[in-house]
Structures are given as C-alpha cells and as structure tokens.
Structure 1
C-alpha cells in the first residue's frame, strides 16, 4: 500500500514539475514576444529620430552656409582704421583702384576685423566683409586676381576649409594631367580635357547641397 502511495506521489510530483516547466516556458515566450514588439518599436523610433536629427543637421548647415554666402575675407589690408566706417572707406578705395568696381556704403552689411589685436604682431588681421547682395561679391571674386595689395577669399567654415585643404593634392594632380579642375565649396570638380562631360569627384561631407531637390524652391541659391 505504501508503495502505491509513493508511486502516486511521484507521479503527481512529476506532473506538477512538467506543468511548472510548461508554465515557465509559456510565460517566458509571452514575455519575449512582448519584448520583441517593444524592441521593434524602439528600433523604429530610433531610426525616425536619427533621420530627423540628420535632416536638422543638414538644415543647420544649409543656413550656416547661407549666412556666409555674401561674405568675403580680406587679407593684407593695412590696419590703420579707427572705426568700421574708416575700414569701409579703405576697402572701397582699394577695390575701386585695383578692380574699377564701385562699392557703395549701403551695399556693405557689416565689416570688421577677425581675431584680437596683438600689439607685438605687425601683421594686419583679416577682415570679414558682408555685402547686402551677392552680385557685388561675385564681381570682386571674379576679378580678385587683379588685386595688388590685398588677397580675397570666400568665407568658409573651419570644416570646409579643412576639406578644401585635404582636396588640394588631388586638385594639383588633376591639373597636372591637363584637366580643368577647381574646388567648389567642399567638392572637387574635374572636367576632362578629352571631353566636355563634367566629372564630379564628390567627397563624403555633412554639408547639404544648395540644390537639393527636397529643399523648397524659395531656399535654393
């Protein structure tokens, strides 16, 4: 009789263990399914957030570029002015003399020296000049090689300047091949000498294109 009770007890025990194991597996499977669903949602949200951040970064870069679009940086302009007005007159005189281009005061949006003045350094600080329209800047940049005492460049960010410096060896290489090559913002543009087709060598960059078809027409340059 005792043996029968023991056998029955062992059977009940085994059955309970089996049910407990099945219950654990069922609970674990249910939890994992819910976790998978949540993880899928989290991953999808992260993807959407990443896209939004990338779009915001492109927009910020676009507006930063737009802000600099009418600017030039002048090097070598003697630092003798006492005010922004004097600085404007000095620059106007040189541009008129060397390029025969008239710069009216109302065409200058802002003008100032870059960096802190160092008494022990006789080298004049660069000048940032921002025009109210792009036409005046374009005229000056188109004829900048005729400037005698000063040197003029575009107003680029540090990141773009670093990219342009990185592309200089390839620019030189393409020109040595006889190709027409030049830098456009942070890209190397190459026109092969044996054809009219323009070949663009685009480097990886966070900069947005000003001609991005997704940009609204009113924002394109």
Structure 2
C-alpha cells in the first residue's frame, strides 16, 4: 500500500513537472509569437510610414508645381472693371479694350499684343470684369504704371491672381488694415504681407539716399589719384621751368 502511494506521488510529481515544462514552453512560444508579430507590425508600420512620407513629399512637389503653373498662367493678365457689357462678339470687346489702353491709358499697343480677352463670371445686373492676357510682361507693367489716367473714368485695372491667391490676399488685407491702424507700413506682395515699422522704414530710406560707402571710397581714391596726378604735373612743370631758368643763367654767364 505504501509503495502504491509512493508511486502515485512520484507519478503526480512527474506529471506536475511535465505540466510545468509544457506551460513554460507555451509561455515561450507565446512570447516568440508575440515578438514576431510585433516585429512584423513594426516593419510594416515603418514601411507604411516611409511610403506615407514619400507620398507627402510628392504632394508637396505637386503643390509647388501647381503654384508655379497657376502663377505663370496669369502672370501677364490684367482685369478691367467698370466696362459696360454691350459687345455682341469677341472682336467688339477686343476693339473696346484696345481703344481704352491706347486712348485713355495712353500706352502704345498693337491689337496682336492682346493675346486673350474674356468676361469673368456669370452674366448679371452689373458688367462683368474682363480678363486681358497680354503677349509680354513689359506691356502689362506699362499699363499698370499709367492706370492713373483712368482716375476720371468709371474704369479701373487690377492684376489678376489665381483663386487661391486671391482668397489669401482678401484675408491678408484684414491684417494689413490692422497694421496700418497701428502706424506701421504694410503692403501686399503677391501672397505675403510685408510689415515695416514706419520710423525704421524712413530711417533706412534716408540711409539709402546717402552716398554708398563703396562710392565714397571710390571718390576718395579718385581724389587721391587726381592729387597725385596734379602733383606730378606740377613737378614736371617746375622741373621744366627750372631747366629753362638754369639754361637762361648759363647762357648769361657764358655771355
């Protein structure tokens, strides 16, 4: 009976040992599986993150290209406001724009320099603005410089901007007005608001109006060279006069 109990105890101990070993193996397997799954997910996550980064960079590049394309597409464009919408076809509208630029704005232009002309937006009660694409940027600049000649008319001219830039400028004008009310100098430059302190701006402007240091140095150098040249000429003259005087004295002594 004692031997049976002893065998049962040994069997139980052996079974417990085996179960413990199995539990340990299962735990190790679970740990290994978890580690592999984690590593796998980490690798996949890193790959996805890298792909996302590449896509983000490509998107930024595309946005930059689109920005440049949109900017260039209207770079030579002007928008005319306040022109009555009475034209019946394109040729009449072209002639009207040509006469305004030539006779009122006072800029010499050929009809062939009006590359494209179109009314903007849907037709309504008010005359729609007219987008004019010029063949050269220089002609656009000339017209803008002379737009003051339209002050006695109902017509006015503005640069054309892409829709997203126009929206940004509308928002920036609010900030511009706030800065002007503070006493600062604020103006829009395409899609940026430039703010300058009025006192600093005037100080810098006065400094720019003075003679640049390089020009001053050149003037001093030129003055020095002129002084040297004058001195050399004086020495030569003095030497010539001295020789003449010595010759005169020598001749008198010989006589």
TM-score of the superposed pair, with normalisation by structure 2: 0.70
Query: Is contact 2:106-2:146 (8 Å) kept?
Result: no
Moved over 6 A (4+): none
Task: Report the equivalent of 2:90.
Answer: 84
Per the alignment, residue 33 of structure 2 pairs with 27
Which residue pairs with 2:115 in the alignment? 109
CA distance in 1: counterparts of 2:31 and 2:100, whole angstroms = 85
- Deviation by residue 1:83-112 (Cα, 9 ceiling, x = unmatched): 212111111212222221122111111101
Contact 1:179 1:191 in 2 (8 A): yes
1:15 aligns with 2:37: no
Of structures 1 and 2, the larger Rg is shown by 2
After TM superposition, give the deviation of residue 114 of structure 1 in Å: 1.5
Say whether residues 1:144 and 2:147 are aligned partners. yes
Compute the displacement of 1:126 (Å). 1.0
Q: 1:131 aligns with which of 131, 134, 151?
A: 134
- The offset of 1:137, in angstroms, is 1.0
User: Counterparts of 1:1-221 in structure 2 under 5 Å?
Assistant: 1-118=7-124, 121=125, 123-147=126-150, 148-196=153-201
Name the Cα RMSD after superposition: 1.9
Paired positions, count: 195
Q: Contact 2:115/2:134 (CA < 8 Å) preserved in 1?
A: yes
C-alpha offsets along residues 18-62 of structure 1, whole Å, 9 cap, x if unaligned? 111111101211221222122112212211210111111111121
- TM-score when normalising by structure 1: 0.80
Shift of 1:176: 4.2
For residues 169 and 160 of structure 1, what CA distance do their matches in structure 2 show? 15
Relative to its length, the structure with more helix (as a share) is 2
Identify unmatched segments of 5+ residues in structure 2: 1-6, 206-255
Shift of 1:71: 0.7
